[in-house]
């Protein structure tokens, strides 16, 4: 694990224009000064000693101790985090949904067994480490075999990749690179379910010092050693950019107890019994991804009002009227693969709820050609059957470890392990998410989930169908 603060510096154009450049805490102090007087920026900046920037913070605003959280909101901090598990990356985004940032994508990058976390770093018991390591190496083996198999199917029948004919016929180097990427994506998108949640990934986030403090509090209060290690590493970097913040970036008893309560609820749920999809000798390993939708509109608002609110909605970023912005929406699925949860979890708005109790295992068996299809012989049928059996067994073992109260059970899961997932937001944000997640470049699986949710919406508000820009997840 490596964590690094990255500071901003003024552009050449800003320097030439004579615009000021401030340290993060000086920026907050300067902004905070506005609440005490109306002297203006130039007067405040005149208090800064270029040779003593840190001391200048107190000369501008002596109350800058971050007791008032709105002040910490004015301290921008960018941190790059390398070498954490996919599970911890998901946890970080769950705790910091408003952050800007990126994460290394399983849709575009081929992962290798060398990028597996060390079990001792994850808190896995010494007596289980060799069994765990062998299981994760086997998971990577299935991933590699399936990637090759899906690639072979795409080569045998390019129409399955839905690459536009005009692009295939374009001989330009740019088109060639785009086609090659689409071919890789087709295989990556279907093989990724066998990747371990303990595979290492990289991410970066840009957010305020207040948000970093809140993130550190939750990570430092976690039962997972990896999360606490990350909290300590972030605190060390914050000393470089916002040292006055540190006393707020530590574990709290309330957070520890709250997380413990939620974990115990998951344990109790697991102790009720193994889900049917994970049982020995069961049929399909994947739990049905049944969608549900609850809509709470304001009084006297109906489907016609919703349709009118979408009249100027020409793209997913365009105007949506007040009737939809005032409407609460709860949409959920009984089972979503962790691979898609990681994507759906990234939406900033509302509140997401995902009790991490395994309910099934999805591995893209629905993407196989029909038994009588001419290209069936090129599909990775046998490899997928073996992968599904392996994935279901590992999900069952994770479920059993959860029922036994082991918090490291999450590191026994794969990206195909299914959990329930729920999102509460407003109708305008639901429509945006549905349009984004079914649009060009969308992953086929989360597009299916949003198609199902939209179907429930259209059943209740058919008047809105012509105005919602539902896509077909065409490749881009």
Position 355 pLDDT exceeds 50: yes
Confidence (pLDDT) at 53: 74
Q: Sorting pLDDT into bands at 50, 70 and 90, what band is 48?
A: confident
Q: What is the mean pLDDT of residues 284-288?
A: 96
Confidence (pLDDT) at 66: 45
Confidence (pLDDT) at 61: 62
- Decide if 186 contacts 215 (C-beta within 8 A): no
Q: Of 164-178, 298-312, 329-343, which range is least confident?
A: 164-178
Confidence (pLDDT) at 30: 85
C-alpha closest to that of 349 among 405, 292, 425: 425
- Decide if 309 contacts 412 (C-beta within 8 A): no
Domains of the chain: 1-106+199-251 (3.30.1360.170), 276-467 (3.30.1360.170)
73-105 pLDDT, tens per residue?
888 999 999 999 999 999 999 999 999 999 999
How does DSSP classify residue 297?
Answer: P
CA 325 → CA 320, 321, 430, 467, distances in Å? 7, 7, 10, 15
Burial of 24 (0-12, 13-18, 19+ CB in 10 A): buried
| Percent of the chain scoring above 70 in pLDDT | 98
C-alpha closest to that of 224 among 345, 343, 359, 89: 89
Q: What is the mean pLDDT of residues 196-224?
A: 96
Higher pLDDT pick, 451 / 476: 451
Confidence (pLDDT) at 311: 97
Burial of 361 (0-12, 13-18, 19+ CB in 10 A): buried
Q: Of 1-5, 99-103, 282-286, which range is least confident?
A: 282-286
* Whole-angstrom Cα Rg for the chain: 25
DSSP states of 361-421 as a string?
A: E--SGGGSPPTT-TTGGGS-HHHHHHHHHHHHHHHHHHHHHHHTT-GGGGGG-BTTEEEEE
CA 449 → CA 139, 214, 285, 291, distances in Å? 25, 31, 18, 7
- Decide if 276 contacts 282 (C-beta within 8 A): yes
351-353 vs 291-296, strand pairing mode? unpaired
C-alpha closest to that of 426 among 322, 345, 332: 322
Q: What is the mean pLDDT of residues 32-54?
A: 82
Place of tokens 């093989």: 191
Q: How far apart are the first and last CA of the chain?
A: 33
Residue 208 main-chain phi, psi, to 5 deg: -80, 160
Nearest 5 degrees, angle CA 127-CA 131-CA 136? 135
Instruction: Kindly give, in sequence order, each residue whose CB lies less than 8 Å from that of residue 378, ignoring residues fewer than 6 positions away.
Output: 152, 153, 155, 156, 157
Confidence (pLDDT) at 317: 96
DSSP lists the bridge partners of residue 199 as 116
Position 281 pLDDT exceeds 80: no
SS3 state at 133: helix
Position 261 pLDDT exceeds 50: yes
Instruction: Kindly give, in sequence order, each residue whose CB lies less than 8 Å from that of residue 107, ignoring residues fewer than 6 positions away.
Output: 185, 188, 189, 192, 443
C-alpha closest to that of 46 among 36, 35, 33, 64: 33
Place of tokens 């102090």: 29
Instruction: Kindly give, in sequence order, each residue whose CB lies less than 8 Å from that of residue 321, ignoring residues fewer than 6 positions away.
Output: 308, 309, 310, 311, 312
- Decide if 169 contacts 145 (C-beta within 8 A): no
Q: Sorting pLDDT into bands at 50, 70 and 90, what band is 62?
A: low
Higher pLDDT pick, 267 / 248: 267
């Amino acid at each position: 694990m490596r964590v690094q603060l990255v500071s901003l510096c003024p552009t050449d154009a800003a320097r030439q224009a004579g615009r000021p450049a401030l340290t993060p805490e000086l920026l907050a102090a300067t902004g905070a000064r506005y609440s005490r007087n109306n002297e203006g920026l130039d007067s405040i900046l005149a208090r800064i000693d270029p040779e003593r920037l840190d001391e200048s913070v107190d000369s501008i605003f002596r109350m800058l101790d971050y007791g008032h959280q709105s002040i910490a909101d004015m301290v921008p901090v960018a941190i790059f985090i390398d070498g954490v598990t996919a599970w911890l990356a998901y946890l970080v985004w769950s705790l910091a949904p408003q952050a800007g940032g990126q994460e290394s994508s399983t849709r575009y990058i081929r992962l290798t067994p060398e990028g597996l976390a060390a079990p001792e770093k994850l808190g896995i018991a010494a007596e289980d480490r060799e069994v765990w390591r062998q299981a994760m190496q086997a998971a990577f083996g299935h991933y590699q075999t399936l990637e090759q198999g899906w690639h072979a199917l795409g080569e045998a029948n390019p129409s399955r990749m839905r690459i536009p004919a005009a692009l295939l016929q374009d001989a330009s180097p740019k088109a060639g690179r785009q086609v090659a990427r689409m071919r890789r994506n087709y295989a990556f998108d279907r093989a990724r379910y066998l990747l371990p949640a303990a595979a290492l990934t990289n991410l970066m986030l840009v957010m305020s010092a207040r948000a970093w403090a809140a993130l550190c509090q939750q990570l430092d209060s976690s039962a997972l050693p990896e999360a606490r290690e990350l909290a300590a590493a972030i605190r060390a970097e914050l000393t470089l950019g916002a040292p006055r913040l540190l006393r707020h970036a530590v574990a709290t008893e309330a957070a520890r107890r709250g997380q413990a309560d939620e974990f115990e609820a998951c344990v109790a749920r697991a102790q009720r019994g193994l889900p049917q999809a994970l049982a020995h000798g069961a049929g399909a390993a994947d739990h049905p991804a049944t969608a549900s939708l609850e809509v709470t509109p304001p009084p006297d608002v109906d489907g016609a009002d919703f349709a009118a609110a979408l009249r100027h909605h020409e793209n997913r970023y365009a105007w949506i009227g007040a009737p939809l912005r005032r409407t609460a929406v709860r949409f959920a699925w009984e089972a979503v693969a962790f691979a898609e949860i990681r994507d759906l979890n990234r939406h900033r708005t509302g509140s997401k709820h995902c009790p991490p109790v395994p309910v099934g295992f999805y591995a893209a068996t629905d993407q196989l050609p029909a038994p009588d299809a001419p290209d069936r012989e090129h599909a990775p049928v046998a490899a997928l059957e073996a992968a599904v059996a392996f994935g279901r067994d590992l999900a069952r073992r994770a479920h059993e470890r959860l029922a036994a109260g082991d918090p490291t059970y999450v590191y026994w899961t794969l990206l195909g392990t299914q959990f329930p997932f729920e999102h509460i937001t407003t109708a305008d944000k639901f429509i945006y998410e549905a349009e984004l997640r079914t649009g060009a470049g969308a992953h086929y699986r989360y597009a299916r989930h949003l198609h199902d949710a939209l179907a429930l919406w259209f059943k209740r508000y058919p008047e809105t169908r012509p105005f919602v820009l539902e896509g077909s997840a065409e490749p881009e």
